[in-house]
Structure 1
Amino acid sequence: MVLPSGFALPPLPYLAAVALAVLAVGWALARDRPPVTDRTVLAFAPWMVVGSSLYVCYQLEIFPEGVAPFFGSPIVYASTFAVAGATWLATRRTARPLAGLAGVGSALALLPVAAAVHHGWEAGTLNFAWPLAAVAAAVVLAPVAWLGVRRWRPRDAEIVGAAGVLAVFGHVLDGTSTAVGVDVLGFGEQTPLSALIMEFAAELPTAELLGVGWLFVLVKTVLACGVVVLLADYVREVRSEGFLLLAVVTAVGLGPGAHNVLLFVASNP
């Protein structure tokens, strides 16, 4: 098994509807060819939170049955892309397109976040302390890691800019939130490769004192920094495509990290 548990496609009508929307938006974006820069990656950050927060609401069974299949995993990310891409196209005609893209994404992110928090309040399962501790740890560790990248490869760090910082932060947040979930809150790790890392950490002499999540944090941080450095050459040679790929790398870190934090806030076991 190489896919996370919970990975399942929705019924065919839902899948077809989302596929058509993604194809239509993808075709329109390919035709319009908007430039992709480090600021574009930052503008899409709220949309990464939108997708992960919608999936949390799906896990908490907040959605009505008729629309819930749009928000399972992995289709929720395709659904989010379709809306985000359409918004990007619409805001391209405004004076500040990226500000508009980020603003709409931020406003939409508030809705599932508020719904999840309300669900936790009603169920008596709210827990802010440890999830926010994971965020605080990422806020501390990510700049330290980025400082290391800047000293190791200053030119590459300059090329990827703020998008590189966000990519590293997203993966560090995924690491710290996963560590808190596994070591403190008693959640299980859904991704097989991540589980293998923590199983290895459980065999080390440090397990009794430090738990098993610390090794996952270290691996995620090192890998994120290494991938960002490797992508710097691509960004240098093919700017838009390089930043687009960096956006994908950011999404697979920030999305799961935001998902973990909100799920832990709303459903303390």
Structure 2
Amino acid sequence: MDTIAVLPSGFALPPLPHLLAVAALAAAVLVGLRRDPPTVDGRAVLALAPWMVAGSSLYACHQLGLYPSAVAPVFGSPIVYATTAAAAGATWLAVRRFGARPQVLLAGVGAVAAAVPITAALARGWTAGTLTLAWPLGAVGAALVLTAGSWRLLARIRPTDTRAVGVAGVLAVFGHALDATSTAVGVDALGYGEQTPLSTAIIELARALPTAPVVGGGWLFVVVKLALAAGVVVLLAESVRDRPQEGTAILGLVAAVGLGPGVHNVVLFIAANPTGF
């Protein structure tokens, strides 16, 4: 009997020594955060956004083969996200001891952490002759437009909920919009395949429709992702109101689940698209 795949391709744990090293670091950071828990609000989620970008960019560099073999396993999927989360947590613990605006410092260090792999990916694309900008940056622009429109509509329909979730809700919608638009660009314009089976099923459904020769198959994935993101934001609004710290933390995870894959797609498409368009 055939099994149904539910995990994306490329999902694999690293060798045991690398896994134990990351687990030990993550455990130490968790202990520190439990002893001295930080305030999790919308500004904190926004400050963690560069770290979300960093993690996904590090994974893109792993797919591009840019790491020495000794350290490459800790940047594969899914371990790279634990690696990045541990680094972000350790940074958060450290910057809270300096100055009155630790979230600004957290975001700044995260921005540097993201800039390094992005620069490496760009350099690889330049030297390999596979650097491309139009379609990937078009996906970013489309995500911004869709986020603005979706949020404005959501604010009219559920004004109390959008006020409750604030900037964390906006980031969640943008993250999933970027994942959707970059996926649509990848499968319809650049010839990439979707790694996640559930997403593939949605795209294939759209490709079976009479509209496929005109608009491709990615549009339905965009619609589904935006609807789901808006629905989750509305559902979490009550949690944010009742338990602000816990609700906002969950909303931050929702944002990361969208923003991470979206940024990964954009960085990979920019650096490795053989069409150069």
TM-score (norm: length of structure 2)? 0.96
- Residue 232 of structure 2 is aligned to residue 227 of structure 1: yes
The sequence identity of aligned pairs, in percent, is 64
- Residue 252 of structure 2 is aligned to residue 247 of structure 1: yes
Aligned equivalent of 1:195: 200
Instruction: Give the drift of 1:183.
Output: 0.1
Task: Provide, for residues 11-57 of structure 1, a one-character-per-residue CA deviation record: whole Å limited to 9, x for no partner.
Answer: 00000000111111011111111110011110000000000000011
In 2, distance between residues paired with 1:76 and 1:90? Answer: 21
In 2, distance between residues paired with 1:106 and 1:149? Answer: 30
SS in 1 for 2:166: helix
Aligned equivalent of 1:211: 216
1:93 pairs with one of 90, 97, 100: 97
Aligned equivalent of 2:271: 266
- Residue 138 of structure 2 is aligned to residue 137 of structure 1: no
Task: Provide, for residues 170-195 of structure 1, a one-character-per-residue CA deviation record: whole Å limited to 9, x for no partner.
Answer: 10010000000000000000001000
Instruction: Give the drift of 1:233.
Output: 0.5
Task: Provide, for residues 72-96 of structure 1, a one-character-per-residue CA deviation record: whole Å limited to 9, x for no partner.
Answer: 0000000001100000011111221
Alignment-mate amino acid for residue 39 of structure 1: R
Q: Point out where structure 2 has 5 or more consecutive residues left out of the alignment.
A: none
Moved more, 184-193 or 23-32: 23-32
In 2, distance between residues paired with 1:162 and 1:57? Answer: 29
Q: Point out where structure 1 has 5 or more consecutive residues left out of the alignment.
A: none
Aligned equivalent of 1:73: 77
SS in 1 for 2:130: coil
Aligned equivalent of 1:2: 6
In 1, distance between residues paired with 2:80 and 2:211? Answer: 38
- Residue 190 of structure 2 is aligned to residue 185 of structure 1: yes
Aligned-CA RMSD value: 0.6
Aligned equivalent of 1:57: 61
- Residue 163 of structure 2 is aligned to residue 125 of structure 1: no
Alignment-mate amino acid for residue 89 of structure 1: L
In 1, distance between residues paired with 2:165 and 2:105? Answer: 22
Instruction: Give the drift of 1:239.
Output: 0.7
Give the number of equivalent residue pairs: 269
In 1, distance between residues paired with 2:242 and 2:145? Answer: 32
Alignment-mate amino acid for residue 119 of structure 1: R
Aligned equivalent of 2:151: 146
* Regions of 4+ moved over 6 Å: none
- Residue 36 of structure 2 is aligned to residue 35 of structure 1: no
In 1, distance between residues paired with 2:218 and 2:211? Answer: 11
SS in 1 for 2:40: coil
Task: Provide, for residues 175-233 of structure 1, a one-character-per-residue CA deviation record: whole Å limited to 9, x for no partner.
Answer: 00000000000000000100000011011111111000000000000100000110001
